[in-house]
Amino acid sequence: MNLSNRVRRDREPVTVEKIRAAHHERRGEIRARLGEFAEVWRTADDARLWEEMVFCIFTAGASARMGLGSVEAVRHLLARGTQGELAAALAGRHRYPNSRSGYIVVTREYLAGDCGMGLRRRLEGFADPLERRDWLARSRGVKGLGYKESSHFLRNVGLRGYAILDKHILRCLAEIGVIDSPEPPSTRARYLATEERLRSFARDVRIDFDELDLVLWSMKTGEILK
């Protein structure tokens, strides 16, 4: 899809009827994508889970495509690379090479001390899915993951039931009147409240909650990515 078509799509107002139609048209692809995420959880080792977390650190304030390209650039450095090495590899690939390389090093050091980089064991240790996300979003040692990107990471590794409230999803919800404003929720309480409204809307339109997130995102971007 070229840029002009993508901009035109983003400006088209979303309606409930269009959401249902888009889900009907794309549900096979969406379910396949969710199946890929589930396969990550079934098969991934801790190094792969760490790579998925780094991808979400890269997408914050950027884009999914920039995140994918950035991961490719630093994959060989994720286990032991210094901030300088990471920043050099990210130059020209990410808009914030210095800050994101710093986030990676700080988060890696924190996880090494917290769980020995045993991310699977750590994630499995939470009985409450909200506490699992709180650990990521509110920990001082995990840099670059607020509630949106913590949800993004958990979804991408196959853990369902988390809303990724990025600008595209929020615009859709505002356009159909589920929320009053597309402004990002600035606190945990507001994030949870918006997430619950999305959950309620999913029940109303009878679309699976995790599928709906991808439907709305694809309606604004024209793509179904990570």
Tell me the catalytic residues: 148, 166
DSSP letter assigned to residue 14? P
- Report how far residue 13's alpha carbon sits from residue 19's, in angstroms, rounded to the nearest whole number: 11
DSSP calls for 181-214: --SPP-SHHHHHHHHHHHHHHHHHHT--HHHHHH
- List C-alpha distances in Å: 70 to 22, 59, 203: 30, 9, 36
Residue 123 near residue 93, CB atoms below 8 Å: no
Residue 1's closest CA among 151, 220, 182, 154? 220
The 3-state secondary structure of 48-104, one letter per residue:
HHHHHHHHHHHHCCCCHHHHHHHHHHHHHHCCCCCHHHHHHHHCCCCCCHHHHHHHH
Structure-block tokens of residue 177:
């009147």
